[in-house]
Structure 1
């Protein structure tokens, strides 16, 4: 008994060291369950993050049977199960033996076998009263784990929950610092470059009125036009650094930004908008990029924005009836599609576009929340 207890202490120490050193969430979770499996009788592990609506997301897995791993772990990522429901209902407070697993049964029904795994234990991941998800553990030919094994799982889950909280707080601090830096840059641009460009515009206007030679007047008109264009670009840049209007809602902010660019905006919303602030800002940034594209490339002064909210996703559509483009007629213009896709992908979403010459462009973005 003493060697086993000592072994558990060493295992917990090694996991704690890994968790303390790692700053990337996925590597941290994957490394923790790998080390747990390598130094215990447990054989298979996976971790779900579960949001307040009960929607789960597979964030880490180790040594899964082929039947659970096939097609991007579809049996773990799709559908519901008993342990997720118990967690969401608040009935799962400590490590528990699960008598039957719907996901394992579905995989077994689809493939005829799933190794010798038929049951799993589950333990909530939390830090204090804040809950993050579940750690599920299985072993071949095991239908119940001992009290000592469940106690070990609870200790590991406590360590993981604390590490998740640390990374979440660190990320929040980084995002806050980024917002502060954006605001500082926006203030500096507004107070310095923006004011200088405005002064150049006024000076050029005065030069037009004072000049007697037509060539001089033409030069001042060019200066006024260029400085006004630069001023518009600077205002758009300041908006991108520090989005104003989001406190009044996503649609109002997007509409105000489009009108600032000189676009006539048509908006339509289906569903009730109540989005996380991070999702809302991502959608705003994507809309900014798309509207900038309309202004610079579409050859039109009108755009349409459609937002559809479902219980799990938000769909953003930005349309124009401008020049459009076609890959068959040459390279796709640099319109920020990759930037939009990167922003959507960072939130677990997708972005795509369709366009036709002389018939405009449509960008479709879908983000889960």
Structure 2
């Protein structure tokens, strides 16, 4: 029975890893396609609004000419005996032509407006694409953080079915929490930005209609800035799922790049390091990056710190990292024992024979000390 449970869990882990690989490709595809579609529609919408303005102006001019032609026709009709037959026919033909041109121009204006409204609705539909990416990112984040890198080793360490079942429940809890976290990030980030873009585009439309071209152009520049910010936010969330630089450049450059992406959230993060070797084995780099990432995120979200310091020292025999902040701190005695963030950090360190210490008091900030021995 125990062997059957082991095989079942291994099968589940392999299935989840396959899901991650497929979902990862899909989420990047969605993000890139959304970016290209947004840029294309935005450009088309800009061109279309310029055409609407031109058509409106041409329509207004034709309306004025049509009124003048009708006035002249009215004068000719009242003074029939004064004007020749050719003059009367010319006045009638001119009035009729002007009226026809005016109607055609207004029909063209209506068609352009309908096309503009359709493009704005399509911009709004991109929000649906973001929601789709949100669901995929939830799966990717959980599996990449807690499964593909670590759980294959954990499966060998768990000795009986009850332990595996309990740990499986922790996986489910962590998955739901990660989905909620990503949902909040997507809602407060790209989704809000997209809603703001739609609102700004309506302001641009109204401004164009009023003929205030200068203000409308300034608003369009603001819309472009919002679009760029939205794309940067989506790329930041994708980066959090799995930084490619970790495989290509190593631990230290990846930490630097990660801290740089957090400037908008917290501009006062300082990183120092001392290293006796350029690269560590992959499992050490992944574990250390995730441990430092989790510590920084906790400081940003919960500590209300004005300054965060990250110190990393890589020696031949061990790696040490310290993450400290001057935030509100917390009471270790009253900390939730089921806090999966701390549990996950301990799990990573246990597999590498490392140690985690947390030194904190309410109102006195927090210091996290990480130590991992390096095996030959």
Which range, TM-score by smaller chain? 0.3 to 0.5
Higher helix share: 2
What TM-score comes out, normalization by structure 2 length? 0.41
Q: Please say which structure displays the higher CA radius of gyration.
A: 2
